[in-house]
Homo-oligomer: A and B are copies of this chain.
Amino acid sequence: MQLAEAKQQFISSWGAFGTQWGINRTMAQIHALLLISTDPITQDDIMEQLSISRGNVNMNIRDLISWNLVERVILPGERKEYFTAEKDIWKVATQIIKERKKRELDPMLKLLGQLQQVEGDKKDKETKQFVEMVGSIKKLGTQADKVLDSLIKAEENWFTMNILKLFK
């Protein structure tokens, strides 16, 4: 396979992969393009390579920046803005985990905590089932939260890094 074809494959698959994870196709494709670009590139480069509009690039780049996956770069003596992506894939992964945890898991745990406070007789079959289910989901979520936190901090954390190596 030639490089050009392989790049296309990578970008398009990354996009498809993204949609399965609730990330929009274009955002994932832009990210993919940046991951395999050696140097920072401009909005126009992205527009051209992915055949998408200026507005679309702009909005999705902004999103990627809010996820801390992409940065603006100003090249000295250049008028245009350039963009570049974090290339260390472990950092990319932990960054995504960190953001999703904050945006999704944390609020969910908060809600479950509230739902546990439901009034009513714990002897009632329905109430009992509800409270137990909410409780067990919360427990699992809390445990996941801890594991993910360790993972995010794994670099500074000899212990977690070594535990990871035990899985083989």
Contact = CB atoms under 8 A, between A and B. Distances in A.
A1 B147 contact: no
A129 interface: yes
Chain A interface main SS type = helix
Contacts of A147: 164, 167
Question: How many copies of this protein are present in the complex?
Answer: 2
A13 B115 CA distance: 11
Interface size class of A (residues with CB under 8 A): 35 or more
Contacts of A90: 140
B140 A17 contact: no
A3 interface: yes
Interface stretch (A52-60, A66-74, A120-128): A120-128
Nearest to A138: B89
A143 B164 contact: yes
B17 A20 contact: no
Interface of A: 1-3, 6-7, 9-10, 13, 17, 19-22, 35-38, 87, 89-90, 93, 104, 108, 111, 114-115, 117-120, 125-127, 129-130, 133-134, 136-137, 139-140, 143, 146-147, 150, 160, 163-164, 166-168
Given A38-B129, A143-B167, A163-B166, 15 more contacts: A1-B114, A1-B118, A2-B120, A3-B119, A3-B127, A3-B130, A9-B114, A9-B115, A10-B134, A17-B108, A35-B133, A36-B133, A143-B164, A146-B168, A163-B163
